[in-house]
């Protein structure tokens, strides 16, 4: 009889402890779910601010283009090409931010490749004094293009994890 009462009181103590742990887990679960949501809001807000800043810089580049075109003096073609490529870099970053929001908060890798190719092209145009550096920049562009090609050959969705073991009929 005494062991039965002892067992009941022990079970009651465990259940009280379990209830307390459950309550703590419930509170932490709320925090664990809240933290990613708050970070996502911060990221989204930061990207919107970045998009606004890049938009102003994009418009500034357009103003520089129009001033260069309507200016009567000779146009420095290096500066003009550099401005065009900087314009496209701004444009690609803004496009990447737009795609981030359209594709459920996901940055498509192909846009990073586009930005990398454009940035390396800009480097070749602006910094072409050293032939070895120019060769390295072109090799980087080639690697980026090969990566883009390979990325387009592979399926966009992950295959089923048991694809190898499926029955062949």
CA distances from 157 to 152, 161, 165 (A): 12, 12, 19
Structural domain contains residue 32: yes
Q: What percent of the chain has pLDDT over 90?
A: 29
DSSP type of residue 157: S
Characterise 121 by phi-psi region: left (phi > 0), alpha (psi -120 to 50), beta (else). alpha
Structural domain contains residue 135: yes
Structural domain contains residue 60: yes
Domain around 130: 7-153
Structural domain contains residue 159: no
Distance CA 59, CA 83 (A): 12
How many structural domains does the chain have? 1
Structural domain contains residue 158: no
Does residue 126 have a pLDDT over 50?
A: yes
Structural domain contains residue 63: yes
Contact 156, 121 (CB under 8 A): no
pTM above 0.85, yes or no: no
Structural domain contains residue 47: yes
Q: Which residue has the tokens 């480097």?
A: 123
Does residue 162 have a pLDDT over 70?
A: no
Instruction: Say which residue, 65 or 141, is predicted with more confidence.
Output: 141
Structural domain contains residue 167: no
């Amino acid at each position: 009889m005494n062991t039965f009462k002892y067992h009941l009181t022990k079970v009651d103590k465990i259940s009280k402890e379990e209830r307390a742990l459950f309550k703590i887990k419930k509170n932490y679960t709320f925090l664990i779910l809240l933290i990613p949501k708050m970070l996502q809001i911060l990221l989204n807000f930061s990207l919107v601010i970045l998009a606004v800043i890049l938009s102003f810089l994009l418009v500034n580049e357009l103003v520089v283009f129009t001033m260069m075109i309507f200016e009567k003096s000779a146009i420095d073609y290096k500066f003009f090409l550099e401005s065009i490529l900087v314009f496209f870099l701004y444009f690609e970053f803004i496009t990447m931010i737009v795609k981030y929001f359209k594709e459920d908060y996901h940055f498509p890798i192909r846009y990073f490749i586009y930005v990398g190719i454009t940035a390396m092209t800009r480097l070749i145009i602006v910094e072409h004094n050293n032939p070895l550096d120019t060769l390295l920049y072109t090799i980087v562009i080639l690697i980026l293009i090969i990566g883009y090609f390979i990325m387009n050959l592979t399926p966009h969705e992950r295959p089923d994890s048991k694809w190898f073991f499926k029955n062949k009929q």
